Amino acid sequence: MTATPAQDRQQRTASTDAHSEAPNPGSRSVTRWVAGGRFTELIDDGDYDAQHVEVPVGFATPVHLHTRYAEHFYVVSGSFKVWAAGTLRVIDSGESITIPIGSAHALLAGDEGGTGLIVSRPAGFAKVVRVSGTETEGAFDLDRFVHAAVEAGDEILGPPA
Ordered domains of the chain (ranges, CATH): 5-160 (2.60.120.10)
Please enumerate in sequence order all residues whose Cβ is within 8 A of that of 13, keeping only pairs 6 or more positions apart, or say none.
19, 22, 45, 46
Contact present, 39 and 133 (Cβ < 8 Å): yes
**Structure-derived torsion over alpha carbons of residues 97, 132, 149, 117, reported in degrees to the nearest 10:** -10
Most distant CA pair in the chain, distance: 56
pTM for the structure as a whole: 0.79
pLDDT values of the chain reduced to their tens digit, one per residue, 161 residues = 454 444 444 443 333 333 335 455 445 578 999 999 999 999 999 999 999 999 999 999 999 999 999 999 999 999 999 999 889 999 999 999 999 999 999 999 999 999 999 999 999 999 999 999 999 888 888 899 999 999 999 999 987 76
Residue 87 pairs in a beta bridge with 84
